[in-house]
Amino acid sequence: MARESLTTVGAASLGLDTYKRLRRARAFIDECYGQPLDLDQISREACLSRYHFLRLFRQTFERTPHQYLTERRIQKAKELLTSTRLSVTDVCFEVGFESLGSFSTLFHKHVGRPPITYRARMFDFKRFPQKQIPGCFLFMYGVDASRPQF
């Protein structure tokens, strides 16, 4: 929520019309993250030149449009990895990456583990939720951590 207050400050310094244009471009990224997007397409959505748009977007949202797009794709990939049985390759292409290698590298950089490891860990947490609770807490309440709790 701190970011929204920063963007509100950005709106005051930019002018309301420009801020609305930038938000429209960000919404465009949110809606079309699964498609190949480039700076020209996104800046056209804001009705700004690409370099002016890039400068204003970074100033307002504290990241470039490409960084925002990558974060959005990674966020959606995390959702798909935990809620579907799509292969990692299918998830990669579903969220708009064109290379499994770059997807895996960026996912690992942003999340801290490769996509397949992330999926296994999330499924493990769903299956054994008590693994998320410190052992001393389970012991204190007499829960056997070695057995699944149904």
Domains in the chain: boundaries: 2-62, 73-132
Question: Which DSSP state fits 132?
Answer: G
Class at the top of the CATH hierarchy for domain 73-132? mainly alpha
Q: How far apart are CA 143 and CA 2, in angstroms?
A: 38
Q: How far apart are CA 10 and CA 71, in angstroms?
A: 21
Place of tokens 């809620």: 83
**What is the pTM (predicted TM-score) of this model?**
0.77
- pLDDT per position as a tens digit, 47-99: 999 999 999 999 999 999 999 999 999 999 999 999 999 999 999 999 999 99
C-beta separation of 103 from 92 below 8 A: yes
Measured between alpha carbons, how far apart are the two ends of the chain, in Å? 36
